């Protein structure tokens, strides 16, 4: 069984990316599982806080989920033509202490996908993740690409994916990544 961890980079209740992650968990095929992780409750990174209080519980929980996963899916919004600060902050916390970078991220299969109200999907946010993923020593999956543009037309008001064509594209993306993470 291939274990995947998906993380949405949005905190908004009806987030398109959280909805995309929710749909992906429903569409994951036999032989793989997709757990939805959360960045909720992760404070802004501050080295003084880390030194005085240690790693926050929300970060510890996400680190445990990542350690148990065979692959990581980043469901990224695009804010101002780049990746969201709150999402990058969560990844920064996951790299603390620095000695955890190799065990958590080194060689880990990773894919980036996302949904945005704009016409170009999340192309710039996905590209902005590449230097981060390289620095962490991950193994990015480049075989598939999923950028949902004009997301307001394929999600309902609660953030649920309603478009069948997008669901099919998402299912294919998840299946391809799961095979990659499994080494097939």
Domains of the chain, each with CATH number or no CATH: 2-181 (3.40.50.360)
Phi, psi of 2 (to 5 degrees): -85, 125
Please write the tens of the pLDDT for every residue from 2-20.
Answer: 999 999 999 999 999 999 9
| CB-based contact 178:32 (threshold 8 Å) | yes
Range 14-40 average pLDDT: 96
- What is d(CA 110, CA 72) in angstroms, rounded to the nearest whole number? 5
- What is d(CA 132, CA 29) in angstroms, rounded to the nearest whole number? 29
pLDDT of residue 184: 73
Strand partners, 6: 36, 73
pTM to 2 decimal places: 0.97
What does the radius of gyration of the chain's CA atoms come to, in whole angstroms? Answer: 16
């Amino acid at each position: 069984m291939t274990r995947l961890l998906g993380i949405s980079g949005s905190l908004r209740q009806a987030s398109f990316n959280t909805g995309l992650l929710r749909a992906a968990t429903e569409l994951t095929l036999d032989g793989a599982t997709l757990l939805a992780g959360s960045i909720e409750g992760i404070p802004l990174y501050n080295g003084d806080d880390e030194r005085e209080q240690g790693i926050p519980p929300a970060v510890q929980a996400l680190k445990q989920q990542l350690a148990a996963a065979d692959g990581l899916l980043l469901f990224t919004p695009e804010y101002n033509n780049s990746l969201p600060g709150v999402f990058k902050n969560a990844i920064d916390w996951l790299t603390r202490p620095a000695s955890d970078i190799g065990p958590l991220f080194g060689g880990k299969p990773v894919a980036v996908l996302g949904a945005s109200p704009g016409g170009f999907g999340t192309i710039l946010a996905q590209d902005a993740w590449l230097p981060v993923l390289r620095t962490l020593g991950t193994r990015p999956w480049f075989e598939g690409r999923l950028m949902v543009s004009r997301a307001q037309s394929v999600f309902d008001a609660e953030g649920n994916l309603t478009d069948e064509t997008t669901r099919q594209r998402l299912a294919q993306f998840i299946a391809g990544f799961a095979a990659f993470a499994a080494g097939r």
